[in-house]
Amino acid sequence: MIGAWRALPAQVQDAVLAAATTLLILGVPLLGSDTRGLTPLWGVLVCAVCAPLAVRRLLPMTAALASGAAGLLAVVLQLPQVGAWVTTAAFGSAAYHRDRGRSLPAIGATCWLVTFDLVQSWPPSSASRLVMSVAAGLSPVALGHILRLRRDQARQAVLVERAEERARIARDVHDVVGHHLSAIRLQAVGGRRGTPDDAARALDVIAEISGTALGETRRLLGLLRDDADAGTDLGALIARLSRQGLRVRLDGDIPQEWTPLEVRYAVYRIVQESLTNVMRHAGVSQARVRVVRSRGSVLVVVEDGGRAVPGDPALPEGRGVRGMRERATLLGGTLTAGPRAPHGWRVTARLPLDDGTVRRDSEGADR
C-alpha cells in the first residue's frame, strides 16, 4: 500500500491529500448534532482552504497564502472553524518546498501566521496568549526549514559519496590500465628490437597481459562498491611482472585473511602502481617490495635502484602518486614517495588494521 502510494506522481498525491482533507473537515461537523452556521458559504470556504494543498509543491507560497486568506475570511465572517490547522500545515510545507529565489522571506510567513492566530483570538487575554500566538506562527515555518535542511544535507551527502566513488573508480582505472599498457609498450619495444624468437615471445606476453587487463577492467567496472572479488594476490602480480622483464624481490608478510579486504586491496594497488612507475621511469630491471605487519598497521615499502638521487630538484607529483596517497588516506594511513640514498626511489605506505590511527614507527623501521 505504501509502495503504491509512493509510486504515484507528486501532483496526484497532493490532489488526493487536498480532497481527503476537504472531506474530513466537511464531514466531521456534519456528523454531529449541532450544525448551526454550517452554511453553503462555510462549505465553499472549507474547499478554498484545502484546495491549495493540491499545488503545495508546485506553488508552495502561493498555496499557503491562498489557504490562509480563505481561513482569515472565515474568521472575519464569524463562520465555524474551516481548518486553521490546514493553513498552518500549508505554511510549514511552503517553508520545506519553497524556492529561495522566488519565495517570500520566512519572516513574512511567520508574521502572517502570527497575525492569523491573533485575529482568531482577538483581543489577546494576556501576555502569555500573545507569546503563544508568536510560537504558533513560528513553529510550522521553523519545522519546515529544519526538515528542508535535513533533506539538503542528505542530498549533499549522496553527492559527496558519488564524488568519492567516481574518484575511487578513476584511481582504479588509472592503476589497472596504466600498469598493463606500460607493460605492453615495453614488450612491444623489446620485441621490435630483438630477434624473431624474441618478437614471438613478446607477442605471447602481450596477449597474456591484454587478457589480464581486460579481465581486471571488467571486474572493476562490475564491482563499483564491492571489492570482494578484486585482485589482491601480490605473488601473481610479481610473477607476471617477472615475465615482463622486471625482477621483483618480495620480502615480509603477504597479506592474507588476517588483513581486512580493503587493506589487502590497497596494498595490491599501491604495489602495482609503484612497480609500474619503476618500469616507466627508473631505467632498471630490479625492484624490492617489503610488506611488514606491525601492531595495528601494515607497512609497505617499494624500492628501486634507479637514477633518482637525494637532493635532486623536486619532481612534480604525478597522478599515480596522488592516487596512492589518496588510497592510504581514505583508510586512515599515510604514504610518502621520493628519492632514497644512495640512489633510487622509495614509496612507503602505512595502513592501519584495527582503527583509524596509524602508529608511527622509528626512522629505522622505514629504512
- Compute the chain's Rg from CA coordinates: 35
Please, are residues 355 and 332 in contact by the beta-carbon 8 Å criterion?
yes
Whole-angstrom Cα distance, residue 288 to residue 367? 13
pLDDT at 252: 83
DSSP string, 38-52: --HHHHHHHHHHHGG
Torsion angle, CA of 226/231/233/235, rounded to 10 degrees? -170
Q: Residue 30 burial by CB count (10 A; 0-12/13-18/19+): exposed, middle or buried?
A: exposed
CA angle 10, 15, 20 (to 5 degrees): 125
Residue ranges with strand state E in the chain: 247-252, 286-294, 297-304, 334-339, 345-352
pLDDT at 334: 92
> Tens of pLDDT along the chain (367 residues)?
676 777 778 888 889 988 998 888 888 777 766 666 678 888 898 899 889 889 888 888 888 888 888 887 887 787 777 777 788 788 888 878 775 544 445 555 556 566 666 555 556 555 565 566 566 666 777 777 788 788 778 878 877 877 777 777 777 777 777 777 777 777 787 777 777 777 777 777 777 777 777 767 666 665 544 444 446 788 888 888 887 778 889 888 777 766 787 888 889 889 988 888 888 777 788 899 999 887 788 999 999 988 788 776 656 667 778 888 888 888 889 999 988 888 888 999 999 886 443 333 333 334 3
pLDDT at 109: 57
Whole-angstrom Cα distance, residue 344 to residue 360? 24
Q: What is the pTM of this model?
A: 0.43
Coil, strand, or helix at residue 151?
helix
pLDDT at 306: 84
Count each helix (H run) and each strand (E run) in the chain, helices first.
Answer: 12, 5
Amino acid at 62: T
pLDDT at 133: 59
pLDDT at 348: 93
Q: Residue 79 burial by CB count (10 A; 0-12/13-18/19+): exposed, middle or buried?
A: middle
pLDDT at 229: 42
pLDDT at 335: 93
Residue located via cell numbers 630490479:
286
How far is CA 216 from its chain centroid?
Answer: 25
